[in-house]
Amino acid sequence: MRIIIIGAGQVGLNIATRLSQEKKDVVIIDRDFRALEMISEQMDVQVVEGSGSSPEILKQAGILDSGILLAVTDSDETNLVACTFANMLSPKTTKLARIRNDEYLKFQDIWAKDLGISMVINPEVEVVRAIYRIMRAPEAVEINDFAQGRVKLLGILVDEKSVLCDTQLPKIREHLKVEEVIVAAIVRGEKLIIPSGKSDILKGDLVYIVCKDKDLEKIAHNLGAKFSPTKNIMIIGGGNIGFRLAKFLENNSFNIKLLEKNRDLCLELSEKLESTIVINGDGTDQNILNEENVKDMDLVVTLTEDDETNILSSLLVQKLGAAMTITRINKPEYTPLVRTIGLKHVVSPRLAAVNTILNQIRKGSIISAVAIREDVDVMEAFINNGQDVANKRIMDLRLPQGVLILAVLRDNEIILPSGDTVLRSGDRITVLSSRKCIDALEKNLTTKLECF
């Protein structure tokens, strides 16, 4: 199946990289010849120079034979026009558009009906959701939902004070005081480890664990989280994401202060927000932060457009006594660096958009999919009647190396499986796979496991 990506920016490039690693037939359209030249040298994809909103360019890229079109440029208008012409030329092609303008978002139902756009991706909305998930599990650097939210995948950064430090895997249940938990993966430096029973958890490891939603608070407590109610929140940066977050938190009865250095934008935000206190000031100004009692904040979220400003602001408010910070990072290469300097919680609009898009383009074969790092995905799939995997133990399945079944949703029961767990028709399974195994996983399981 051919996938056309319009836009060779960070989102388009990230998606293309992942899909090319899975041996998918990918075509990228962009006006920037140099960007396309670099992409051609780095990955096995086709490139077409030109505007994705041009019918002729769409034809040249093979729209008539394409299963999916992703319009992910920085221009909402270009993305909408591209989907319009794609729908005229190839109505059966699934179309996804990246749209950020609220005025356009009001007409999603019309787009779905008249333009055939299957889904609109708004990175800002996805970031707000990611922030709220982190607020629920403050000891996790990231958290993802599976099995209708009843299974959680937590990314835990292990320091010398963690109960997990220098722990062997068989003892993790004892330390977390939870009977059902699975260590899905360990990231040590740049190395991904699919653990065995003999694996150790060391200082500096990023450990991904799977648990039931009902055990989330207990695990967080045993990891050292202090569950004092989060009520007082400061947002630094009043752009689109800052405004959306403030509006969301207002609707959930939080006390919010929003700090923005652009005076005109402050006046605009004051008119749009109801209970949020809007302050004109710089998030890197220690005097202003002290005046606004940042030391009493349960959470400070830094959401300006500038990564360096966000990093500095987060470090400063931590020094001044804020209980917790969440930092917006646009450049993916910054994420591992900021965690080494003490900023645990990071959100990325681009990565949020990529995860949402990957989730949707796997639809029809996968229920949901999340990229937890550059080379690892976690996916959900159904087992159907008549498939060979039904009524077999997990240890007897011929899964590619680097693939691990993490959870099973059976009827209304969540099972965190062992090798002896027998899969049944109708089960909904959550699977971790290294990127290099995804193509083999899809091919090897097509005759055994039909995902939809």
- 348-353: which pairs have CB atoms within 8 A and are 24 or more residues apart? 348/127, 349/123, 349/124, 349/126, 349/127, 349/241, 350/10, 350/11, 350/14, 350/123, 351/14, 352/123, 352/126, 352/127, 352/129, 352/130, 353/11, 353/72, 353/98, 353/121, 353/123, 353/126
Output the pLDDT for position 371: 73
Question: Does the structure show a pLDDT above 80 at 81?
Answer: yes
- What CATH number should be reported for the domain holding residue 187? 3.30.70.1450
One domain for residues 113 and 156? no
- What CATH number should be reported for the domain holding residue 98? 3.40.50.720
One domain for residues 161 and 256? no
3-state secondary structure of 246: helix
Does the residue 49 lie in any domain? Answer: yes
The residue among 121, 154, 189 that closes a domain is 121
One domain for residues 51 and 102? yes
- Count the domains in the chain: 4
One domain for residues 255 and 217? no
Which residue would you say has higher pLDDT here, 108 or 408?
A: 408
Any residues with CB less than 8 A from the CB of 81 and at least 6 apart, and which? 53
Q: What is the mean pLDDT of residues 418-437?
A: 85
Amino acid at 281: G
The residue among 188, 222, 256 that closes a domain is 222
pLDDT per residue over 49-74, tens digit each? Answer: 999 999 999 999 999 999 999 999 99
One domain for residues 238 and 280? yes
One domain for residues 101 and 14? yes
Expressed in angstroms, the distance from the first to the final Cα of the chain is: 16
The residue among 296, 329, 351 that closes a domain is 351
Does the residue 133 lie in any domain? Answer: no
One domain for residues 116 and 182? no
One domain for residues 21 and 80? yes
Band (pLDDT 50/70/90 cuts) for residue 178 is confident
Residue whose tokens read 């995905």: 377
One domain for residues 146 and 209? yes
Does the residue 366 lie in any domain? Answer: yes
Question: Does the structure show a pLDDT above 80 at 261?
Answer: yes
Which tokens go with 20? 């090319």
pLDDT per residue over 226-238, tens digit each? Answer: 555 688 999 999 9
Does the residue 130 lie in any domain? Answer: no
Does the residue 127 lie in any domain? Answer: no
Does the residue 126 lie in any domain? Answer: no
One domain for residues 247 and 340? yes
pLDDT per residue over 109-166, tens digit each? Answer: 777 777 788 888 888 888 998 898 888 777 777 888 888 788 888 888 888 888 888 8
Rounded Cα distance between 199 and 169, Å, is 6
Output the pLDDT for position 174: 86
pLDDT per residue over 352-391, tens digit each? Answer: 888 788 777 764 445 667 777 767 888 888 777 655 667 8
- Work out the number of other CB atoms within 10 angstroms of the CB of residue 185: 24
Does the residue 357 lie in any domain? Answer: no
One domain for residues 182 and 265? no
Percent of the chain with pLDDT over 90: 42
Question: What totals of helices (H) and strands (E) does the chain contain, helices first?
Answer: 16, 26
Structural domain of residue 245, as residue ranges?
Answer: 232-351
CA angle 13, 95, 1 (to 5 degrees): 70
pLDDT per residue over 11-26, tens digit each? Answer: 899 889 888 877 889 9
Output the pLDDT for position 47: 96
Contact 357/366 with Cβ under 8 angstroms? no
Does the residue 129 lie in any domain? Answer: no
One domain for residues 9 and 68? yes
Q: What is the mean pLDDT of residues 162-183?
A: 86
pTM: 0.77
